[in-house]
Amino acid sequence: MIIDGRQFDLVTLAVERQGGRYYVQVATSVVFNRAIMNLKLKPIPEIIGWSLLITTILFSLTFPFTVRRVLRPVRVASDAAASITPANLKTRLSYTGVPSEIRPLLVAFNDALARLENGFKVQQEFLASAAHELQTPLTLIRGQIELQPAFEDKALLFFEIDLMARHVRQLLHLAEVSEAQNYQFAAVDSVDVAQDVVEYLARKADKGRVKLRVEAPDALPALTADRSALFILLKNIIENAINVTPPSGVVNVFISDSAIEVQDSGPGIKPEYLPFLFERFWRAPDAAHEGAGLGLAICKEIAVAHHWRLSVKPSAPGTRFIVWL
């Protein structure tokens, strides 16, 4: 309705009171109502903007934390899986806190580990059994040949039998060093072990006219290790160094509190062979010496059991093998 030229909104309400009917009318200015509505609506875009900003900030702060918390069990399982080696195949991944969607994957992985552990155990038992069973026949064969009169190929037969016996011993060593329970750790003098190896290989070095040297500080802290395993590791590396060192050459053994290094003065190792040196039964195609390709594989198993690291680098003349302690 319009009153005095101004537009109003009018509401009429009928009210019954004390037997009579009354009418109540309320009118408000249309202009006034619009002004009030404008005042209420004007802050809404600003409020929405601030709300979105605050929500975005809170989301950006809480989302990474939430994701890390949810994925933490998965990350723990991933780290555990990455740490599994042939030396600790008994390890299993934990299901604690893992989302139900991922649990079947971990169950399948643990089942695969169990099968792998069993297969590895069978392999190790076969290696040990085969090596033990071969030792006695080889000894008997060699004894029988020694009793025979001299004949043309007698020396060649001795060479072949001795080579087979060496391979059998290496198989035994490989089976032994691959099992963690076979190690007996104690305080060991690394220099003393190196000197024992040099004395053990002295005849071989003299035969090839190769000089062996051991260099070490006057005092070194004791090394926690299995003495027999350390002896085998150094023997294999130093023996290889003797094999590739030419007459009048030198094999140096450097010992410190952090590493044992063996430096030969041979022709060196081709770069393309380096990735395969510590693999079982691998031999260089142009190898000049007979072998089963097990010596350095045994060294690797011993190093892993001691949490040491093996590395090889060219060091003219020759090659340097390093056992990082």
- Residue corresponding to tokens 């003349």: 317
Residues 24, 314: Cα–Cα separation, whole Å? 108
State the amino acid at position 223 in one-letter form. L
pLDDT, tens digit (0-9, with 9 covering 90-100), for 32-79: 777 666 655 556 667 677 778 888 888 888 877 877 777 788 788 888
Instruction: Note the helical H segments in 16-153.
Output: 30-41, 44-82, 103-147
Contact residues for 253 (Cβ-Cβ < 8 A; gap 6+):
194, 198, 212, 213, 214, 215, 234, 238, 260, 261, 262, 263
Residue 319 is predicted with a pLDDT of: 93
Q: Give the separation between CA 7 and CA 30, rounded to whole angstroms.
A: 6
Q: How many CB atoms lie within 10 A of CB 238?
A: 24
More confident residue, 301 or 178: 301
Give the pLDDT confidence score for residue 270 in this predicted structure. 87
Per-residue pLDDT reduced to its tens digit, 266-320: 888 888 888 888 988 888 877 766 667 788 999 998 999 899 999 999 887 889 9
pLDDT reported for residue 25? 76
pLDDT tens digits for 99-133? 788 888 888 888 988 888 888 777 777 777 777 77
C-alpha 294/C-alpha 172 separation (Å) is: 11
Euclidean distance between CA atoms 179 and 104, whole angstroms: 30
CATH topology of domain 112-177: Helix Hairpins (1.10.287)
Q: Give CATH 3.30.565.10 domain extents, the chain.
A: 183-324
Q: Indicate where the chain has its CATH 1.10.287.130 domain(s).
A: 112-177
Kindly report, residue by residue over 181-204, the tens digit of the pLDDT.
Answer: 888 999 999 999 999 999 999 999
What fold characterizes domain 183-324? Heat Shock Protein 90 (3.30.565)
Q: Is the pLDDT of residue 260 over 70?
A: yes
Q: What is the pLDDT of residues 204-242, one digit of tens each?
A: 999 999 999 999 998 899 999 999 999 999 999 999 999
